[in-house]
Chains A and B, each alone.
Chain A
Amino acid sequence: MSSTQSSSTDQDALLQAAIDRSLRYPVMFFLTSGAAWLALALLLGVIASAKVHNPEFLGNWACLTYGRVFPAHINALVYGWGMQAAFAVILWLMARHSGRKCPDAVMILTAGHVWNLGVALGSAGILAGNGTGMPWMEFPSYIWPVLLGSYCVIVMGSFNQFRIHPQGRVAIPQWYIFAALIWFPWIFSTANLLLHCLPGHPVMAAGINAWYKSALVFLVFTPVALGAAYDLAAQVTGRPVSSDALAKLGFWSLAVIAPWAGMQKLAGAPVPYFLPYVGAAAAALLFIPICAAAINTVRMMWPCRKTFIAHPTLQFITAGITSLMVIAVTSVVLYLPDSTLPLTQFSWSGYGFDILALYGFFSLVMFGATYFIVPRVAGRAWLSNKLVQVHFLFSVYGMITICWVALFGGFQQGMSQENWQLPWIGVSAVTNPYAVAITFAWCLMLFSNVFFCLHLILMWRSPDRLRAHHAPGEPAPAIPDHTAEHIY
């Protein structure tokens, strides 16, 4: 009995290793190019932020004016890093859960190159002065079909794996990932078609744009990160999901509530009155799905809290989930019509909220996933534990600075804006110290992410230390979990 069990475990391990090997190039490609975009996005973020308090900094360069650098920074962060990290996690997670190898690595890699080309052309277009002026959709209008087409090719295999090979019970990470797979093209094509192809009312166009930003965060990045968090917490700790009912509540309440959020940004603008109020109510109600998912994942990891130091994956995911809880609280506090919304609507708080979601939650969970996935697909251990720790500390401290400063500085800025007896030039001056702090924090994060990118590039390098000793022609041995140094 026990020998049958052990042989089936061995077979499982061999299958997992074979799946990981089949994913080596696509996953490594998306993570490495994503990390390069992240470093570039943060460099642009440093430049943009420095310009807020020092407007003459690089002031003679048309392509580096604040109004072009800032959109390039956010779009590179969202499409260059965010979406590509999501692709890597989606491909790996769906293949592992369906027990099938990567369907067509060449096609995925080709589409991945097209995606990168699209992001590069789009960012260059913004810097060259061809941006559209729609927040988070500033890429010139010919870019979005390229991105949508390559997206479909990249995830088609994962979509089919879920559709054709559901093995037994569908696991929670699969729900989240599959939902994001369906929602992204829906959200992306709706926003782009309505804003670029169908001329509508200009104020409604701004409303759709605000909804798009919120939907991208809560219906694409959040589900991908939550799927990864559930899956990795289970794999690292070896514990099952603590409550299925809570997981279902978290998933379905996100699906029902999140699509209504976003238009609170238009409070007071001439759109139908119910839209901003529905948006504000939905943003506050997001507390429910976020809390459900956060409690569930933390309860899985809590018994292993003493080994956190040895597991960057757990460290990053815990930090990401903590940010998610902060998002839950801030989305209740920031968007109260008649009280806080007028203060935060046009202040740094909105930026703080975006960075909290994109970096504090999504990116930190993706870093955790990277530290788990890469040794398995690349077949070698991380080169330096110190680099990983530095990445963690700088990311977390940088992110805390940005979010603290932007959220609370934003409140103070909002209060000055609402104080109509204060001359406007005085209101603008209020933001300067906060802008300096944000620049400093972006520098910290840039520093750590340049090393993250270099670390990932070095992981491409063979020789495969762990597989070097098997004879050619033989199947490579599975990589045992938690045994080798620096494989987390």
Chain B
Amino acid sequence: MSLRTFILGLSASFGVAWLAIIVIPFFMMRDIAPIALSLSKDGAAGVFFPKRTGRIADGASVYAANGCYLCHSQVIRPTYAGHDLYRPDWGGLKNDAERGDTRRETNAYDFGGETFAQLGVMRIGPDLSNLGRRVEALHAAGKDPAAWLYAHLFNPRDNPQLWQSTCPPHRFLFDRREIKGRPSADALRIDAGADHEWVPTADAKALVSYLLSLKKDHKPPAALDFSPHKPKEAP
């Protein structure tokens, strides 16, 4: 076999796969078309656009730099690929006060504002696809959800319900500083010593804002709705 044939063989065997599973899907998904809503099926017009508010790009980079993705996933798999949807608070909320069962699988439109979907490496901690929803409706119902997350980041085991948690403490995301005048509104309710308080840093604020934006249970358009409760189409 000549050197040229050998190199050609290497390039062809690799190049076909490279084109088929990397280059072509990359450019096709880059321009993924928005899904138009229809008045008859979805009860709304326009396109499907799951809104997110918060410091998403900033917070996602803090999430990435501190390795949250190593223990937490952000993908709710359809039932053929796993049992994520059966958990009562992962894919949405089982009993939302206004919308009922909002659980659904993750779709391609859920990662708006991010450059890299943190699908996750391992699940030592729970899935975070709907963490924002979960904190607001369950963990900190009627209280400040950001304060719950700050306290959780400071020391996850302070919460008696989570005494077994193996989530690392993130005390480096908080500054201990002297109280001058009135205490800070964001200060943690944790003893920081006389005349001192723990306040979240800019990174902690960005991260918490990002975590609260994790609400991937918007009602999907009929074309993406695989729920058994989906209203049946008229014949």
Contact = CB atoms under 8 A, between A and B. Distances in A.
A166 B110 CA distance: 54
B65 A133 contact: yes
Nearest to B120: A346
Contacts of B11: 182
Listed residue (A52, A205, A263, A429) with the most chain B CB atoms within 10 angstroms of its CB: A205
A428 B116 CA distance: 26
Nearest to A182: B10
Contact of B10 (A129, A170, A179): A179
A275 B25 contact: yes
B213 interface: no
Given A208-B22, A418-B83, A270 B106 contact: yes
B75 interface: yes
Interface string B36-79: 00000000000000000000000011011111111101010110
A59 B171 contact: yes
B116 A134 contact: yes
A379 interface: no
Contact of B29 (A170, A201, A431): A201
A51 B75 CA distance: 25
Given A182-B7, A259-B13, A271-B25, A203 B67 contact: no
B124 to A, nearest CB: 6
Contact of A268 (B105, B114, B164): B105
B108 A267 contact: no
Chain A interface, DSSP helix/strand/loop, else mixed: helix
Contacts of B107: 270
Contact of B75 (A59, A252, A269): A269
A206 B10 contact: no
A188 B158 CA distance: 43
A59 B81 contact: no
Q: How large is the interface on A (under 10, 10 to 19, 20 to 34, 35 or more residues)?
A: 35 or more
A342 interface: yes
A484 interface: no
B123 A346 contact: yes
A269 B64 contact: no
Interface in A243-282: 252, 255-256, 259-260, 263, 265-272, 275, 278-279
Contact of A166 (B3, B21, B26, B30): B3
Contacts of B110: 270
A190 B156 CA distance: 39
Measured as residues with beta carbon below 8 angstroms from the partner, the interface class of chain B is 35 or more
B116 A133 contact: yes
Contact of A420 (B64, B66, B80, B86): B86
Contacts of B29: 200-201, 203-204, 271-272
Contact of A131 (B65, B115, B123): B65
B108 A133 contact: no
Nearest to B69: A133
Interface string A429-455: 101100000000000000000000000
Contacts of A183: 10, 14
Contact of B121 (A53, A135, A162): A135
Given A65-B168, A432-B166, A337 B67 contact: no
A272 B77 contact: no
A203 B76 CA distance: 13
Interface stretch (A67-75, A324-332, A366-374): A67-75
B17 interface: yes
A347 B78 CA distance: 18
A166 B28 CA distance: 42
B218 interface: no
The winner among A163, A351, A424 for most chain B CB atoms within 10 A is A424
B82 A268 contact: yes
Contacts of B26: 194, 198, 200-201, 204, 208
Nearest to A427: B123
Interface string B2-32: 0100110111011011101110011111101
A406 to B, nearest CB: 10
A429 B81 contact: no
A195 B122 contact: no
A60 B82 contact: no
A466 interface: no
Contacts of B116: 132-134, 195, 202, 205-206, 209
Contact of A431 (B3, B75, B117, B124): B124
Nearest to A431: B124
Contacts of A417: 83, 123
List the 9 closest A-B pairs by CB distance, nearest first. Answer: A67-B67, A133-B64, A268-B77, A268-B81, A62-B172, A259-B17, A420-B86, A270-B108, A201-B29
Interface of B: 1, 3, 6-7, 9-11, 13-14, 16-18, 20-22, 25-30, 32, 60-61, 63-71, 73, 75, 77-78, 80-84, 86-87, 105-108, 110-111, 114-126, 156-157, 162, 164-172
Interface of A: 51-53, 55-56, 59-62, 65-68, 70-71, 129-135, 162-163, 166, 170, 175, 178-179, 182-183, 186, 190, 194-195, 198-209, 211, 219, 252, 255-256, 259-260, 263, 265-272, 275, 278-279, 337-338, 341-342, 345-348, 350-351, 417-420, 424-425, 427-429, 431-432
8 contacts: A162-B3, A190-B18, A204-B25, A263-B21, A268-B82, A272-B28, A346-B122, A425-B165
